[in-house]
Amino acid sequence: MRETKEKIITLLREINDGVDYAKEQDLVDDGILSSLEVMTLITMIEETFGIELQPADINAERFASVDRIAEMIAPYLS
């Protein structure tokens, strides 16, 4: 899980550096990630982890924090 989170933070930094991602709890509502950036992140997650996210999993709440993103992709990795 910790490794997953670190990978996610690396991806997020590529999109937008200079944010303390480990701390932020509302990436979408606080305006840190735009819809276009969420979109970029989806593609990057799929490429990095070699998974394909299901449409039902894609919504703003699941991208709120690094923890939430890690929780979302955990079932795909097991």
Partner 1 sequence: MQALTVLDWLEAQEKRIPEKCAVIDPEGRMTYAALAKYARCVGRALAKEDVAGGAVAIFADKTCHTFAAMLGVLYASAFYSVIDKGHPAPRARAMVETLRAKVILCDSASVEQAGERFRDMSVRLIDLTRCMRDNEPQADSRTDTAKDSRDEEQNDPLPAIREALTDSAPMYCNFTSGSTGTPKGVLIGHRSVTDFIPVFTETMGLTEQDVFGNQAPLDFDVSVKDLYSALYLGATVALIPQKYFMNPTALTGFLAAHDVSILIWAASALVVLSVMKGLSLARMERLRRIIYSGEALPKTHRMHWHEVYPDVTFVNAYGPTEITCNCTYHVLTEEDIPADDVPVGIAFRNKKVFLLDDEDRLVTESNRQGEICVAGTCLAIGYLGEAGTEAFVRNPVNDLYEERIYRTGDIGRYDDAHRLFFCGRRDFQIKHMGHRIELFEIERAAESVEGVARACCLYDEAGTKIVLAEEGVADTGRVRSALKEKLPRYMLPGVIRYVEHIPLNKNGKADRAALRRLTGMDEHA
**Binding residues vs partner 1 (CB under 8 A):** 15-19, 28, 31, 34-36, 38-39, 42-43, 53-56, 58-60, 63
Classify burial at 56, counting beta carbons within 10 Å of its beta carbon; exposed 0-12, middle 13-18, buried 19 or more: exposed
Smallest distance from partner 1 to CB 40, Å = 8
Considering the complex, state which of residue 1 and residue 57 has its C-beta at the smaller distance from partner 1: 57
Which region holds residue 64: left if phi is over 0, alpha if psi is between -120 and 50, else beta?
alpha
Considering the complex, state which of residue 33 and residue 70 has its C-beta at the smaller distance from partner 1: 33
